[in-house]
Every structure is written in structure tokens, then in C-alpha cells.
């Protein structure tokens, strides 16, 4: 409310260019507010890899302001910025290689960032820089320096009744111990009218203009039955916004964990063509421009400008700051069966057996909150789960896993060890009076662990040790829910902002980090219980920038309606763009009961999304995949089996996400950055660079409009192998059995030849390659393999990374990373070449050092597909197949 009183116009800030100092690390100077005379310190950094960082803090704050810790994986490596020019009112800085120039204008204060002469972004060009300096509370304010007096008068006069020191929210009173401290500024993104990112909202992929409505809000909340197309924040936040135009992608990463609002306004502005003659100067053209205004309740301004220039560069830049996706254990890419609740040990066994009886693969069964002894996490209900170890041994024999829920609220019960210990050690968040903060959640009156404290995180991680967590075994993994944190009867169902954390920081400062920290501690616990050997799996509902390092996220309580299936696609794409590749939505819809057709369509969609879990609410009817009649069971079986067959490709994509920050699921524009028709496509997407997927999200659909982009591309039906006749938007006929999936020409996809009961049953199943030729009759692809569960790939380089190239009718398998080695007896059994022009006369295969042998093949003239069988070519050997 206070910031919104400031309208676009001339900024009241002026840069004091006499104060400029520069070092290898940064360039610093001060800016002053004309009325309050408060000085702010500006620091500008160039970070290796085309990143710029701008920090603005008070020059001499009353107390230190909150600076988000633990999100950046390390202190970024800076490069010296050179002062290339300093004269009346302008400070010009240039990057080491001279590609980038930063222009700081003194009056009004404004920063412009240019890449090779092109203005890409500017800051404060709308004059919306806003910075509330910390003041002593009105009660102990004594007039001292003149400046200070002027400053407080300014605020008193202009902002009376705007909740400076306390604010009512319904029946809640938020007492702001340190007074107003909000910050904000605007960025103009030149030439851009497509912006994306800043999850999580139930919104379109393309961010909307907010001029006549609500700003996008980043404030992690548990909103049960959330509406669709709403800018209120749910569960998680990543303050990263991406902007794209045909020749460039850029990003703005606003590192602030307090409640944040983002206003977006796209417009066309006149651009002057540079020219000398007067007649020519009059020539103008309209270019788009997007203004993005960030407003945060507290903290400092700390913003990273990611200069791309490609989308993949931007992803790398963000990962360089916040880390890449953790490599998931392979089982977690299989299908997960969840429900609130699988009742007891018999239920778990019966559901597990149901999958075998219906020949449906699955990897993990989940236990929700009712498995505990009265919602005391890390315990078991003594009646329903009398022998959890035995139950897990049973699952282990079936080569399957168990995930249990572990929420952050701790039941107030002195006989509950976890509570008693945490209480004793002072590990709970405090209320404003210094008592343990008490809220209500599933466990009744509860306290909340203060995960922002590193000591608490360590202690919490230790709770996962096998000997401490009674009844847990090494097939048990963890689900962190309610970690926004959710507080029933709390303001907006969360913790009051004036609660107090570690080091005396108020909750308002750290709110959006709470879930991030719980997942961090949980993942650490799972790693530690295995003495550092095994990869963890932790699903979290709440998240922040960097959560990708700790596991997976899901989109929370969606509803079993078609519109929620549909919106899940842009929601997952947005989360993926924000660095979190391992994401999914509850298959079937959590709330309510899906009609069978919707459930089938949701399985088909989920099978081609990164995290694949069926889940349902307590009040929903049972929803195991075989409960909807033989025909639907068969279609769901087919969808899940297809997922399992595709796992080699998916796992390879996760390896790329882990090592190169490439999102697994990506919007079309990322793959086709020059094709403007892809920029707003949100109901279809690319899985890696090779598969285009368009889930069916309409009831009784007979056709689906699919955009196959790129006139120079060739697309193939992924299952029928047929080359698509046209590119552009096509009406693709669909039946209930299929969803439109296409393979892009020029790619090679590795698959398993068949599915098994779970990923672990599939280790020895042979592989096949789908080689889809492009217009030059070429294709390339990759396959990553390791043991699927440990850190040996990292510590001992036990992995295989293979590369496939099809060129001049020769398919070659070679090593893509010589540093890795992994023993496997697996073979390639089949190769299918799509778009192969003519019937071959003979085909030979030869392994390096081995002799050439003839290959049996069949050729389908109608669809130009060549199938090579009985190959038995080792996965870990170099080999060649020659087609003559
Ligand atoms: O408010 O643990 O989003 O997946 O089943 C309900 C019970 C609490 C919310 C989660 C949902 C989970 C449920 N939880």
C-alpha cells in the first residue's frame, strides 16, 4: 500500500558520483533521497558468465537488514568492472570483454544495461525505487540530526495509518518490531513483450499485464481448493522472471524472501532509429517494452540480471547462482501411488499386490499423516502399523519403496521425544513475546521447528538416522508437506509475520524460505543416514529459488476437474523454467472424484511429466488405477508402461538438468527461440529436445490442435513412426487410447524394450533406439546410465554417458564422457530409423575390435521406417551400424 502511493515519474533519488569507488569486486557509490536525505549504498558487480548484480542497502542502517543466506551456492566470482567514463551526471562502466556497458545516470538515479550497443534493461527508469530506511520506534525517538528528523517527518506526514509499526489483518495484529522496511524498484525490459516465471500461481505460462488487477504475489500459502487464474501466491515462490524475444533471453532474479509483489506492464514505445539526417530522425518504429516492478516487504534490494543471451545460457546463469537439479534416484522417476490415506499394513500390501495382479508397474507407495501416532511425525500408529519394518521388508523384496510424510509442525506433548528435545534446546520459532510460537495444525496445538537455524537443521537431519527413526529402513523416503508453513487459524493460514526466528529475524523476513530449509534438512538427513552414499528423495510442497538441489516439488491440492488438468501444464512449465525440473501435479486431481475419462487423460499427461504420482484426498473415493473398469485399466496400464519404457530418455534428461541446468520439461519457445508462434504456447511442451507432447485436456476430445513448429523441422508420430505431412497447427485425431506425442527429426531417443514391475526389475532389460532423421538424414542423441541410486557417479565416476550419431547412413555409438565408467551387461536390442528414404540391401553391425556381422531388418515402405533387430550390441562398447 505504501509503495503503491509512489507513481511512475521522476525518481527522488540522485546518485552522488563523487562517492564512486571501484575494486576488483565491485563499483560502489551512494544515492540520496532528495526529501529524506537518507543515503543508500549501491553496489554493482559483474559476475562471471554474463551476470550483473545490483545491491542497494542503507549506507548506515540502524540495524543490519536481512540478506537472504543459503540460497546462493557460493559467493559468486566477480570480474572487475571498468569505469570507462565519468562526467557531468553520467558514470559509464564496462565489462572486461567490453560486451556490456552499464550507464549510471545521476539525476534522477537510473541504471541502463547495454549489450553491444543494444539497451537490454534499465532500472528505475520509471522512478519507482523505494526504500524505507529503518527508524527507531516512535516511542524512543529523540530529535537528533536534522536529517533524521526530516526523514521521520516525511514518513509521518505521507504515510500515517499505513501500517508502519503495526497492522491489523482480520483479528490478527502484526506488530512490526523494527518498523517499516519495504523495498522496491522497477525494471524496463527493452524489446520484450513475453515474460515468464515467478512461480507459483495457477496462471498462464505467459505472464499477464497486471495494470488493471492484482499484482503477482510471492508469498507461500496453503490455499486449499485454490482457484484457477489467480495471482495470489500458493505454496512456493521463485523470484525469477525470464523475458524472451527472438534473438535474446534475459532474466531478473530478485533475491528476497519476504512477501513480494510483482507488477507487469507491457506496452509499445517509439524507438528512434539512429540516423544523422533530420528527415530520417523523424522515422520511428514501435517496439515492445515490458516494465516489471518488484516490491518486497523487507530486506534489501539484491538483484541479479541474467544476460543470456540464449534461454539455455539464462538457465545456466541461474544454476550457477542457486545450483542445479539434484539427480533423482531412478526409482523416483517411476510411478508413485499415494492416497490420504493408505490405512494400514494390510492395505499397503493389498494395493501393492493389486499392481502386480493388474500388471501395472509402480515404484513407490506413500503413507500420509494417518500412519503416525497422533500426527507425531517420525512415529507409527501402533495399531495400524504394528510392524513397519516387516512391511518395508516386504516392499523391498518386491523391489519397491515407501515414502512417508513428515510435516514441520510438532505436537505439543512433553512425552513426545521430538517435542521434548526441541523444546529443551530452544529449537522452535518464538512468538513476539519470546515464548514458543504455538499454532494449530494436524497434531492440534503445535510448535514449529526453526529450520532457519543451522543447528536445528543438523539436529533434524539426525532424526532420520535409522536408529533414531524407529521402524524406518533404507527404502523409506520422505515427503515434506504443510511447510509454507501452514498454521490453521493463523493469518492467511500461515505463521504470523512477527514471530521470531534464529538470530532474532522476524518471520516476515524469512517466510518464503521456510519450506526450502525443511527440505534441505530432510535431504541432508537422508544422505547422512546412508553415510553419504545414497541419493535422497524428498518431495516438498513449499519451495524457493534453489529448492531444486534438494529434490522434487508438486503443485499441491488441485481439484479433479478438467480445468485443473489443463492448468497443470503451464504451472509445471513455469516451475521448470525457475530451475526446478523435478515437478508434478497430483494425477487425477486431489480434491473430489474424477470421472474415469479425466483420470485416464491425467495418467496419460502425468506419464510424460517429470514427477508422476497419483494422489487423492481423504474424502475422495479409492482411486487405484484398476478400479474404473477393464478398458480404463488397460489404457492406464499402457500409459504407465509407456512411462517406464521411456525412462532411459527421462533419466538422461535429468542428468542434463543436473549437469547443465537444462529443464526436463520446457516450453516450445525454449527449443524454437526464433519462432514467435511458439511464444505463448502453453498446453503443449517439449520433453527434452526430442519429444513434443500435447496432453488431451478436453472432455470427449476427438481432435487436438497441435502446433508442430519450424518449417525446416520434420516431426514423426512417436508411436506409429509415421512422418507428419505438414508442420504448423494440425488437427490431430485422438481416441481415448492415445495422446499426441511427436519425435523431432534429428534426434535419437533411448528406450527400454519393455517395462517391468518397477525400475529395479528393469535393470537388465535391453535398450532400443529411436532414430528420427532430419532433412539432412542426420540425428544425434545421448544415453546416461549409472547405478540409479548412489553418489558413486559423482565420487567414483561410475557412470556411462553415451552418444549416438546418425550420419551418412551410419549409426555410431561412442563415449560422450571418457571420465566415466560403469559395468553393465545390458545390450541394445533394436534400432528403429524413422524417415529412412529407401529399402536397404544389407545392414551390418560391428563393435570396436569385433567382427562385422549382418543385421536382420525389416523396412516399412509406407512409413519409411527401418527396424533393426537382434542386435545384442553392448551398451558400454563403441559400435557402428552401416546401412547399405
Ligand atoms: O490440508 O496430509 O497437499 O497432498 O494429502 C491437507 C494430508 C494436508 C495437504 C497436501 C496433501 C496431503 C494432505 N495435506
What is the atom index within ligand 1 of the atom nearest the CA of 586?
4
Answer whether 710 contacts ligand 1 (Cβ < 6 A): no
Residue 384's φ and ψ, nearest 5 degrees, are -80, -30
Distance between CA atoms of residues 320 and 317, nearest Å:
5
Answer whether 368 contacts ligand 1 (Cβ < 6 A): yes
Cα separation values, 702 from 567, 641, 691, 734, Å: 20, 24, 22, 5
Residue 606 C-alpha to ligand 1 middle, in angstroms?
A: 19
Which residue is closest in CA terms to ligand 1's atom 13? 340
Same domain, yes or no: 212 and 340? no
Which residue is closest in CA terms to ligand 1's atom 5? 340
Same domain, yes or no: 311 and 335? no
- Give the closest residue to 793 by CA, choosing from 388, 403, 326: 326
Cα separation values, 362 from 359, 403, 833, Å: 10, 13, 30
Answer whether 441 contacts ligand 1 (Cβ < 6 A): no
Distance between CA atoms of residues 800 and 687, nearest Å:
22
Answer whether 556 contacts ligand 1 (Cβ < 6 A): yes
Q: In the 8-state DSSP scheme, what is residue 762?
A: G
H helix runs in 623-704, sequence order: 629-645, 647-660, 668-671
Residue 567 C-alpha to ligand 1 middle, in angstroms?
A: 20
Residue 867 C-alpha to ligand 1 middle, in angstroms?
A: 47
Same domain, yes or no: 349 and 475? yes
Same domain, yes or no: 375 and 245? no
- Give the closest residue to 4 by CA, choosing from 261, 230, 248: 261
Cα separation values, 726 from 83, 556, 711, 722, Å: 54, 39, 8, 12
Distance between CA atoms of residues 839 and 457, nearest Å:
63
Distance between CA atoms of residues 476 and 365, nearest Å:
10
Question: Which neighbouring-strand residues pair with 749?
Answer: 770
Residue 248 in 3-state DSSP?
strand
Mutation probe of ligand 1 site: the residue of 336, 368, 616 with most atoms within 8 A of C-beta: 368
Answer whether 369 contacts ligand 1 (Cβ < 6 A): yes
Distance between CA atoms of residues 441 and 374, nearest Å:
12
H helix runs in 646-718, sequence order: 647-660, 668-671
Torsion, CA 461, CA 467, CA 468, CA 473, rounded to 10: 70
Same domain, yes or no: 308 and 343? no
Distance between CA atoms of residues 472 and 397, nearest Å:
16
Residue 809, in any domain of the structure: no
Q: The pTM is what?
A: 0.97
Q: Which residues, in sequence order, are CB contacts of 310 under 8 Å at separation 6+?
A: 248, 249, 673
What is the atom index within ligand 1 of the atom nearest the CA of 541?
3
- Asked if 848 contacts 786 with a C-beta cutoff of 8 angstroms, the reply is no
Question: Which neighbouring-strand residues pair with 279?
Answer: none
Q: Is 271 a catalytic residue?
A: no
Answer whether 481 contacts ligand 1 (Cβ < 6 A): yes
The residue ranges of DSSP E strands in 191-273, in sequence order, are 195-197, 216-218, 240-245, 248-254, 260-272
Angle between helical axes of 629-645 and 647-660 (0-180°, round to 10): 50
Number of domains comprising the chain: 2
- Give the closest residue to 568 by CA, choosing from 593, 590, 549, 550: 590
Distance between CA atoms of residues 123 and 411, nearest Å:
47
Distance between CA atoms of residues 268 and 192, nearest Å:
10
Distance between CA atoms of residues 316 and 336, nearest Å:
30
Same domain, yes or no: 544 and 648? yes
Answer whether 557 contacts ligand 1 (Cβ < 6 A): yes
What is the atom index within ligand 1 of the atom nearest the CA of 369?
2
Q: Which helix (H) or strand (E) holds 792?
A: helix 792-795
Mutation probe of ligand 1 site: the residue of 481, 585, 587 with most atoms within 8 A of C-beta: 481
Distance between CA atoms of residues 873 and 879, nearest Å:
7
The pLDDT of residue 280 is: 54
- Asked if 665 contacts 685 with a C-beta cutoff of 8 angstroms, the reply is yes
Mutation probe of ligand 1 site: the residue of 557, 560, 590, 611 with most atoms within 8 A of C-beta: 557
CB atoms < 10 A from the CB of 412, how many?
16
Q: Is 481 a catalytic residue?
A: yes
The terminus-to-terminus CA distance of the chain in angstroms comes to 73
Distance between CA atoms of residues 884 and 881, nearest Å:
10
Same domain, yes or no: 583 and 609? yes
Answer whether 506 contacts ligand 1 (Cβ < 6 A): no
% helix / strand / coil in the chain, to the nearest 5?
Answer: 20, 30, 45
Distance between CA atoms of residues 155 and 136, nearest Å:
13
- Asked if 259 contacts 248 with a C-beta cutoff of 8 angstroms, the reply is no
- Give the closest residue to 575 by CA, choosing from 308, 316, 236: 236
Check 381, 436, 481, 586 and give the catalytic one. Answer: 481
CATH number of the structural domain spanning residue 360: 3.20.20.80
Residue 368 C-alpha to ligand 1 middle, in angstroms?
A: 8
Q: Which residues, in sequence order, are CB contacts of 867 under 8 Å at separation 6+?
A: 830, 831, 832, 833, 857, 858, 859, 860
Residue 513 in 3-state DSSP?
helix
Question: Which neighbouring-strand residues pair with 446?
Answer: 411, 439
Same domain, yes or no: 316 and 363? no
Answer whether 340 contacts ligand 1 (Cβ < 6 A): yes
Residue 796, in any domain of the structure: no
Q: Where does a domain end: 641, 662, 683?
A: 662
Distance between CA atoms of residues 206 and 574, nearest Å:
9
CB atoms < 10 A from the CB of 674, how many?
11
Residue 461 C-alpha to ligand 1 middle, in angstroms?
A: 22
Our CA angle for 839, 845, 851, nearest 5°, is: 140
State which residues of the chain have pLDDT below 70.
140-161, 272-283
CB atoms < 10 A from the CB of 10, how many?
11
Q: Where does a domain end: 600, 628, 662?
A: 662
Cα separation values, 332 from 336, 357, 582, 654, 661, Å: 8, 22, 10, 12, 19
Same domain, yes or no: 343 and 315? no
Answer whether 236 contacts ligand 1 (Cβ < 6 A): no
Residue 713, in any domain of the structure: no
Distance between CA atoms of residues 608 and 739, nearest Å:
10
Check 263, 363, 436, 484 and give the catalytic one. Answer: 484
Question: Which neighbouring-strand residues pair with 857?
Answer: 868
The pLDDT of residue 567 is: 98
Q: Which helix (H) or strand (E) holds 510?
A: helix 507-510
Angle between helical axes of 454-462 and 417-425 (0-180°, round to 10): 160
Q: Which helix (H) or strand (E) holds 114?
A: strand 110-115
Residue 489 C-alpha to ligand 1 middle, in angstroms?
A: 16
Check 57, 557, 624, 684 and give the catalytic one. Answer: 557
CATH number of the structural domain spanning residue 73: 2.60.40.1760
H helix runs in 383-471, sequence order: 388-397, 417-425, 454-462
- Asked if 535 contacts 329 with a C-beta cutoff of 8 angstroms, the reply is yes
Q: Which helix (H) or strand (E) holds 783?
A: strand 779-785
What is the atom index within ligand 1 of the atom nearest the CA of 557?
3
- Give the closest residue to 96 by CA, choosing from 77, 110, 109: 77
Q: In the 8-state DSSP scheme, what is residue 426?
A: T
Question: Which neighbouring-strand residues pair with 90?
Answer: 87, 105
Distance between CA atoms of residues 609 and 570, nearest Å:
12
Same domain, yes or no: 218 and 302? yes
Residue 418, in any domain of the structure: no
Residue 393, in any domain of the structure: yes
720: left (phi over 0), alpha (psi -120 to 50) or beta: alpha
Our CA angle for 369, 373, 376, nearest 5°, is: 70
Q: Which helix (H) or strand (E) holds 881?
A: strand 879-883
Q: Where does a domain end: 626, 645, 662?
A: 662
Q: Is 725 a catalytic residue?
A: no
Residue 541, in any domain of the structure: yes
Domain that holds residue 40: 2-133+179-271+287-322
Question: Which neighbouring-strand residues pair with 810?
Answer: 807, 882
Mutation probe of ligand 1 site: the residue of 340, 478, 486 with most atoms within 8 A of C-beta: 340
Distance between CA atoms of residues 102 and 285, nearest Å:
25
What is the atom index within ligand 1 of the atom nearest the CA of 617?
5
Answer whether 234 contacts ligand 1 (Cβ < 6 A): no
Distance between CA atoms of residues 446 and 856, nearest Å:
68
What is the atom index within ligand 1 of the atom nearest the CA of 618?
5
Same domain, yes or no: 231 and 350? no
What is the atom index within ligand 1 of the atom nearest the CA of 405?
2
Distance between CA atoms of residues 355 and 625, nearest Å:
8
Distance between CA atoms of residues 143 and 285, nearest Å:
55
Residue 72, in any domain of the structure: yes
Q: Which residues, in sequence order, are CB contacts of 153 under 8 Å at separation 6+?
A: none
Residue 657 C-alpha to ligand 1 middle, in angstroms?
A: 28
Which residue is closest in CA terms to ligand 1's atom 1? 224
Residue 481 C-alpha to ligand 1 middle, in angstroms?
A: 7
Residue 93, in any domain of the structure: yes
What is the atom index within ligand 1 of the atom nearest the CA of 556?
3
- Asked if 502 contacts 452 with a C-beta cutoff of 8 angstroms, the reply is yes
Same domain, yes or no: 301 and 336? no
Cα separation values, 730 from 147, 475, 694, 714, 795, Å: 67, 46, 12, 14, 48
Amino acid at each position: 500500500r505504501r509503495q503503491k502511493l509512489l507513481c511512475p515519474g521522476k525518481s527522488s533519488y540522485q546518485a552522488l558520483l563523487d562517492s564512486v569507488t571501484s575494486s576488483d569486486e565491485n563499483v560502489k557509490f551512494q544515492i540520496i533521497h532528495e526529501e529524506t536525505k537518507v543515503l543508500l549504498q549501491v553496489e554493482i558487480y559483474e559476475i562471471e558468465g554474463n551476470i550483473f548484480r545490483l545491491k542497494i542497502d542503507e549506507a548506515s542502517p540502524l540495524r543490519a537488514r536481512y540478506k537472504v543466506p543459503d540460497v546462493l551456492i557460493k559467493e559468486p566470482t566477480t570480474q572487475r568492472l571498468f569505469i570507462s567514463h565519468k562526467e557531468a551526471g553520467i558514470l559509464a562502466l564496462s565489462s572486461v570483454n567490453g560486451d556490456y556497458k552499464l550507464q549510471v545516470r545521476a539525476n534522477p538515479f537510473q541504471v541502463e544495461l547495454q549489450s553491444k550497443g543494444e539497451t537490454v534493461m534499465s532500472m528505475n527508469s520509471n522512478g519507482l525505487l523505494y526504500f524505507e530506511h529503518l527508524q527507531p520506534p516512535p516511542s524512543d525517538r529523540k530529535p537528533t540530526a536534522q536529517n533524521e528528523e526530516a526523514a521521520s517527518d516525511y514518513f509521518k506526514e505521507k504515510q500515517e495509518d499505513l501500517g508502519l509499526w503495526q497492522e491489523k489483518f482480520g483479528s490478527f495484529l502484526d506488530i512490526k518490531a523494527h518498523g517499516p522496511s519495504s523495498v522496491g524498484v522497477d525494471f524496463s525490459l527493452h524489446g520484450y513483450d513475453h515474460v515468464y516465471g515467478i512461480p507459483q500461481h495457477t496462471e498462464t505460462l505467459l505472464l499477464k499485464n497486471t495494470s488493471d488487477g492484482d499484482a503477482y504475489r510471492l508469498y507461500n500459502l496453503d490455499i486449499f481448493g485454490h482457484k484457477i487464474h489467480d495471482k495470489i501466491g500458493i505454496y512456493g515462490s521463485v523470484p525469477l522472471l525470464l523475458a524472451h524475444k527472438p534473438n535474446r533471453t534475459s532474466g531478473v532474479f530478485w533475491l528476497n524472501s519476504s512477501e513480494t509483489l510483482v507488477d507487469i506492464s507491457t506496452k509499445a514505445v517509439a524507438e528512434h532509429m539512429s540516423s544523422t539526417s533530420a528527415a530520417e530522425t523523424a522515422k520511428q518504429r514501435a517496439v515492445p517494452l515490458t516494465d516489471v516492478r518488484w516490491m518486497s516487504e523487507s530486506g534489501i534490494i539484491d538483484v541479479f540480471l541474467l544476460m543470456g543471451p540464449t534461454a539455455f545460457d539464462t538457465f545456466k546463469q541461474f544454476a550457477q547462482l542457486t545450483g542445479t537439479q539434484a539427480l533423482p534416484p531412478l526409482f523416483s522417476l517411476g510411478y508413485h501411488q499415494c492416497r490420504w490415506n493408505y490405512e494400514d499394513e494390510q492395505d499397503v500390501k493389498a494395493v501393492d499386490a493389486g499392481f502386480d495382479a493388474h500388471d501395472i508397474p509402480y515404484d513407490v507407495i506413500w503413507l500420509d499423516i494417518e500412519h503416525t501416532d497422533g500426527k507425531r511425525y517420525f512415529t507409527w500408529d501402533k495399531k495400524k502399523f504394528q510392524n513397519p519394518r516387516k512391511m518395508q521388508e516386504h516392499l523391498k523384496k518386491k523391489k519397491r519403496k515407501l515414502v512417508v510424510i513428515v510435516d514441520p509442525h510438532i505436537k505439543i506433548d512433553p512425552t513426545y521425544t521430538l517435542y521434548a528435545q526441541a523444546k529443551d534446546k530452544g529449537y522452535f520459532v518464538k512468538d513476539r513475546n519470546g515464548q514458543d510460537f504455538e499454532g494449530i495444525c494436524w497434531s492440534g496445538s503445535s510448535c514449529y521447528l526453526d529450520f532457519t537455524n543451522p543447528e536445528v537443521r543438523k539436529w533434524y537431519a539426525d532424526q532420520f538416522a535409522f536408529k533414531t527413526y524407529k521402524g524406518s529402513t533404507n527404502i523409506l523416503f520422505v515427503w515434506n508437506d504443510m511447510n509454507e508453513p501452514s498454521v490453521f487459524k493463523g493469518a492467511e493460514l500461515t505463521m504470523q509475520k512477527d514471530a521470531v526466528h534464529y538470530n532474532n529475524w522476524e518471520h516476515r523476513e524469512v517466510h518464503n524460505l521456510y519450506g526450502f530449509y525443511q527440505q534441505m534438512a530432510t535431504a541432508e538427513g537422508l544422505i547422512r543416514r546412508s553415510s553419504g552414499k545414497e541419493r535422497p528423495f524428498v518431495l516438498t510442497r513449499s519451495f524457493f529459488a534453489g529448492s531444486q538441489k534438494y529434490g522434487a516439488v508438486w503443485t499441491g491440492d488441485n481439484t479433479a476437474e478438467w480445468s485443473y488438468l489443463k492448468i497443470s501444464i503451464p504451472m509445471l512449465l513455469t516451475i521448470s523454467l525457475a530451475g526446478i525440473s523435478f515437478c508434478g501435479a497430483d494425477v487425477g486431481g486431489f480434491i473430489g472424484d474424477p470421472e474415469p475419462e479425466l483420470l485416464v487423460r491425467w495418467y496419460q499427461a502425468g506419464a510424460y511429466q517429470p514427477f508422476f504420482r497419483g494422489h487423492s484426498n481423504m474424502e475422495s473415493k479409492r482411486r487405484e488405477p484398476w478400479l474404473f473398469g477393464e478398458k480404463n485399466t488397460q489404457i492406464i496400464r499402457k500409459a504407465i508402461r509407456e512411462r517406464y519404457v521411456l525412462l532411459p530418455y527421462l533419466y538422461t534428461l535429468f542428468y542434463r538438468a543436473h549437469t547443465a541446468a537444462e529443464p526436463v520439461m520446457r516450453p516450445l519457445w525454449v527449443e524454437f527461440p526464433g519462432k514467435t508462434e511458439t511464444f505463448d504456447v502453453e498446453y503443449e511442451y517439449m520433453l527434452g529436445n526430442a519429444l513434443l507432447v500435447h496432453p488431451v485436456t478436453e472432455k470427449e476430445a476427438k481432435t487436438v490442435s497441435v502446433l508442430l513448429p519450424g518449417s525446416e523441422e520434420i516431426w514423426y508420430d512417436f508411436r506409429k513412426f509415421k512422418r507428419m505431412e505438414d508442420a504448423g497447427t494440425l488437427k490431430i485425431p485422438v481416441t481415448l487410447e492415445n495422446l499426441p506425442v511427436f519425435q523431432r527429426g534429428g534426434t535419437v531417443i533411448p528406450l527400454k524394450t519393455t517395462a517391468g514391475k518397477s525400475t529395479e526389475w528393469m535393470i537388465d532389460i535391453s535398450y532400443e533406439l529411436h532414430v528420427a532423421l532430419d532433412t539432412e538424414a542426420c540425428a544425434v542423441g545421448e544415453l546416461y546410465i549409472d547405478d540409479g541410486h548412489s553418489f558413486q557417479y559423482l565420487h567414483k565416476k561410475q557412470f556411462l554417458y553415451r552418444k549416438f550419431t546418425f550420419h551418412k547412413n551410419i549409426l555410431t555409438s561412442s563415449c560422450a564422457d571418457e571420465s566415466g565408467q560403469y559395468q553393465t551387461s545390458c545390450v541394445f536390442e533394436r534400432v528403429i530409423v524413422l524417415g529412412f528414404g529407401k529399402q536397404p540391401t544389407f545392414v551390418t553391425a560391428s563393435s570396436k575390435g569385433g567382427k562385422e556381422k549382418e543385421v536382420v531388418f525389416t523396412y516399412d515402405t509406407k512409413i519409411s521406417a527401418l527396424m533393426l533387430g537382434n542386435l545384442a550390441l553392448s551398451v558400454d562398447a563403441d559400435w557402428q551400424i552401416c546401412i547399405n
